[in-house]
C-alpha cells in the first residue's frame, strides 16, 4: 500500500515600509506526494514596482525528516541543500516563474511544513 506524504506550505512576506513592490503569485497552500518522490514547490514573485529590485527568498522553516532533502532550484539548476536563501534581481513588472523549492520525500510517511520569507 502506498502512503501519501502531505506537504503544507506557509508563506510569509517580510518587508520594510516603502519596499512593498512585490507580490507572491500562484501560491499553493498544500501539496501531496507519494513515498520516494521528488516534488517542486513553485515560488513565484512579481516585482510590482517601477524599478528593479533585489529580492532574497529565505527558507524560514523546513521540517524535513532525516531521510528527506530540500533545496532551491532555478529552472534545471539546483543548489546545495545547505543553502537557506536565494537572491535575485528582478526587473520592473518581471515575474520569477522558474524558482522552486524541491523536496525529495524519502521513504517514511510524514507531514512537512515550510515557511519562506
- Predicted confidence at residue 115, as pLDDT, reads 74
- Predicted confidence at residue 26, as pLDDT, reads 66
* pTM score above 0.75: no
- Predicted confidence at residue 18, as pLDDT, reads 43
Confidence tier at 107 by pLDDT (50, 70, 90): confident
Angle, vertex CA 83, rays to CA 4 and CA 66, nearest 5: 40
Q: Tell me the mean pLDDT in the region 85-111.
A: 85
Rounded Cα distance, 24 and 26, in Å: 7
Task: List 59's β-bridge partners, or say none.
Answer: 116
Amino acid at each position: 500500500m502506498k502512503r501519501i506524504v502531505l506537504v503544507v506550505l506557509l508563506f510569509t512576506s517580510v518587508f520594510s515600509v516603502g519596499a512593498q513592490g512585490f507580490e507572491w503569485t500562484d501560491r499553493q497552500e498544500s501539496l501531496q506526494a507519494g513515498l520516494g518522490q521528488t516534488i517542486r514547490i513553485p515560488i513565484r514573485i512579481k516585482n510590482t514596482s517601477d524599478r528593479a529590485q533585489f529580492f532574497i527568498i529565505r527558507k524560514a522553516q523546513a521540517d524535513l525528516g532525516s531521510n528527506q532533502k530540500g533545496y532551491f532550484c532555478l529552472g534545471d539548476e539546483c543548489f546545495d541543500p545547505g543553502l537557506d536563501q536565494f537572491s535575485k534581481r528582478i526587473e520592473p513588472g518581471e515575474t520569477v516563474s522558474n524558482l522552486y523549492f524541491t523536496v525529495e520525500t524519502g521513504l517514511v510517511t510524514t507531514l512537512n511544513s515550510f515557511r519562506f520569507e
